């Protein structure tokens, strides 16, 4: 039985840090284990310009614990007013590593997002020219499409036509949740990749709805049927190069999660690495954990591997995770996997 595993220090290719007091409270949870993270731009107001991204990066760096070497990788929020030249300049400077497509109304703080892809064609063409990836929140927002079908419909009606019309554009399907997403990413070629979250490897829709509504398991894209969870586990643990970790760790204070119209998001920054070791061991693929967490993402984003290493150790006694992270904005509930976890990150 494997009792420890040493990995190249991992990266998180989809992370929400928020801002202000929340940023200060949750940032140490990621910086403890991760070398880098791709920071989502859906603040209020959103991170739209290179100047916005530079200012947000500086706020993140000021909020880091003393001595931390964590590096935030910045993104821009794509709007119908985005300037292609500003995007190109931000990329050329090394500041921005991706641009994020939010279909308007798809998720938290997405109302400034894109309603018509034709209106951002010039930006997408410039991104294809310079090799800057587009990260997609892959759901349609049409009211008549069932929430459990919105990812599959997005692939058929938005993503596939976009890729056929602009095959040079490098795209990341973020937080895929379905068999269709797994299959499409696998067959998409070198310009297509997909991130998979920690929580979608662990929960299905029963965890949210069976026996009463569980607000801390509610996320967008929403967890799907068990067959989709199993497809995600097979993809994540496969070692294939197009799949890598993007936690989509999304902090909300409990007061906003536990109400009649609760916010979407699972906060997994604290315990992701231990949970992933548990999942990969269950699948008999612990040897592929480093590939998923530390190798495939940098390869797609054309960045060097981290030089630092981390070690995970399996203990006889299960680990106890904090129930909540206390921030000055309010308490944030840590994702509870619902089973004992014996893996620990050895600090």
**Known catalytic membership, residue 248:** yes
Whole-number Å distance between alpha carbons of 184 and 174: 13
In whole angstroms, give the CA distance from residue 309 to residue 315.
20
pLDDT value, residue 108 = 65
d(CA 310, CA 332): 26
Cα 218–Cα 222–Cα 223 angle in degrees, nearest 5: 95
| pLDDT per residue as tens digits for the range 231-258 | 999 999 999 999 999 999 999 999 999 9
* CB 13 within 8 Å of CB 245: yes
Instruction: Note the pLDDT tens digit of each residue in 257-306.
Output: 999 999 999 999 999 999 999 999 999 999 999 999 999 999 999 999 99
Determine contact, residues 297/308, Cβ cutoff 8 Å: no
Q: Which residues contact 228 (CB under 8 A, 6 or more apart)?
A: 177, 178, 179, 204
- Answer yes or no: is pLDDT of 342 > 90: yes
Complete domains list, the chain, with CATH? 4-346 (3.20.20.140)
Residue 192 is encoded by which pair of tokens? 């297509």
The pLDDT assigned to 112 comes to 72
Report residue 1's pLDDT band, with 50, 70 and 90 as the boundaries.
Answer: low
pLDDT exceeds cutoff 80 at 345: yes
Question: Within 202-271, where are the H helices?
Answer: 205-209, 226-236, 254-257
> Is it the case that residue 110 has pLDDT exceeding 70?
no
- Residue 76: left (phi > 0), alpha (psi -120 to 50), or beta? beta
List beta partners, residue 193.
172
Q: Out of 52, 248, 254, 346, which one is annotated catalytic?
A: 248
pLDDT for the residue 347: 63
Q: Assess whether pLDDT exceeds 80 at residue 106.
A: no
Calculated CA dihedral for residues 236, 238, 241, 244, nearest 10 degrees: 10
Q: What is the pLDDT of residues 208-228, one digit of tens each?
A: 999 999 999 999 999 999 999
Least confident of 107-111, 199-203, 278-282, 313-317: 107-111
Q: What is the pLDDT of residues 152-187, one digit of tens each?
A: 999 999 999 999 999 999 999 999 999 999 999 999
Q: Which residues have a Cβ under 8 Å from the Cβ of 119 and sit 6 or more positions away?
A: 80
* pLDDT(109) > 70: no
Apex 160 CA angle, 196 and 176, nearest 5: 10
Specify the 3-state DSSP secondary structure of 45. Answer: coil
Encoded tokens for 239: 């070692």
For residue 113, name the pLDDT band (cuts at 50, 70, 90): confident
- What is the per-residue pLDDT for 270? 98
- Residue 127 main-chain phi, psi, to 5 deg: -60, -40
Q: Is the pLDDT of residue 105 over 90?
A: no
Whole-number Å distance between alpha carbons of 139 and 149: 8
Across-strand partners of 289? none
Listed residue (228, 341, 225, 207) closest to 278, CA to CA: 341
């Amino acid at each position: 039985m494997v009792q420890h595993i040493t990995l190249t220090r991992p990266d998180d290719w989809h992370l929400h840090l928020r801002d202000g007091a929340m940023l200060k409270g949750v940032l140490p949870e990621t910086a403890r284990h991760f070398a880098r993270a791709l920071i989502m731009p859906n603040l209020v107001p959103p991170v739209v310009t290179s100047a916005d991204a530079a200012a947000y990066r500086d706020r993140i760096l000021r909020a880091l614990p003393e001595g931390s070497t964590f590096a935030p990788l910045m993104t821009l929020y794509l709007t119908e007013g985005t300037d292609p030249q500003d995007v190109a300049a931000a990329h050329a400077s090394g500041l921005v590593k991706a641009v994020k497509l939010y279909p308007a109304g798809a998720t938290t703080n997405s109302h400034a997002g894109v309603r018509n892809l034709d209106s951002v064609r010039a930006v997408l063409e410039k991104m294809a020219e310079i090799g800057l990836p587009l990260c997609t929140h892959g759901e349609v927002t049409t009211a008549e499409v069932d929430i459990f079908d919105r990812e599959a419909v997005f692939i058929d009606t938005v993503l596939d036509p976009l890729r056929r019309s602009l095959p040079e554009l490098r795209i990341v399907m973020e937080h895929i949740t379905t068999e269709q997403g797994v299959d499409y990413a696998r067959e998409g070629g070198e310009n297509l990749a997909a991130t998979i979250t920690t929580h979608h490897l662990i929960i299905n829709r029963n965890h949210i709805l069976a026996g009463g509504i569980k607000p801390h398991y509610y996320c967008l894209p929403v967890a799907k049927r068990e067959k989709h969870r199993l497809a995600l586990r097979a993809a994540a643990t496969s070692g294939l190069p197009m799949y890598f970790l993007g936690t989509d760790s999304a902090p909300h204070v409990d007061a906003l999660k536990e109400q009649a119209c609760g916010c979407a998001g699972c906060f997994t920054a604290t315990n992701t690495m231990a949970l992933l070791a548990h999942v990969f061991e269950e699948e008999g693929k612990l040897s592929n954990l480093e590939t998923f967490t530390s190798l495939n993402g940098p390869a797609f984003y054309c960045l060097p591997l981290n030089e630092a290493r981390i070690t995970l150790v399996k203990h006889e006694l299960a680990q106890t995770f904090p129930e909540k992270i206390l921030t000055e904005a309010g308490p944030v509930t840590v994702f509870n996997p619902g089973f004992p976890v014996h893996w620990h990150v050895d600090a």
